């Protein structure tokens, strides 16, 4: 299934999903996985269920914007320091 992070959070809140049934979770635009963003809520739920083990789902984060910078040199420096 493909769902938005907001939809996923709603389904978790209504107990319509069992995270143990997932083998892979793909997070697009994962640079948003901070603070109170829905992506973060999903990942915290995975962690709280004790699924961050070898048997739990693999998590793949994708982004086209790993850092924010005004120049190529600044972006290169930020990427090197990740």
- Identify the residue whose tokens are 């190529």: 72
47 CB-near residues (< 8 Å, 6+ apart) = none
Tens digits of pLDDT across the chain (82 residues): 788 888 988 998 999 988 888 888 898 888 878 788 888 888 888 888 887 777 788 889 898 877 788 899 988 888 888 7
- 0.85 surpassed by pTM: no
User: What pLDDT score does 65 carry?
Assistant: 77
User: What pLDDT score does 14 carry?
Assistant: 93
Pairing of strands 24-28, 58-62: parallel
User: What pLDDT score does 31 carry?
Assistant: 80
58 CB-near residues (< 8 Å, 6+ apart) = 23, 24, 25
User: What pLDDT score does 56 carry?
Assistant: 80
80 CB-near residues (< 8 Å, 6+ apart) = none
Q: Are 23 and 58 in contact (CB under 8 A)?
A: yes
């Amino acid at each position: 299934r493909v769902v938005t992070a907001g939809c996923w959070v709603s389904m978790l809140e209504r107990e319509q999903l069992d995270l143990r049934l997932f083998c892979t979770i793909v997070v697009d635009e994962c640079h948003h996985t901070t603070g109170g963003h829905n992506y973060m809520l999903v990942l915290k739920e995975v962690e709280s269920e004790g699924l961050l083990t070898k048997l739990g789902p693999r998590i793949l984060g994708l982004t086209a914007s790993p850092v924010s910078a005004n120049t190529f040199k600044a972006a290169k420096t930020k990427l090197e320091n990740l």
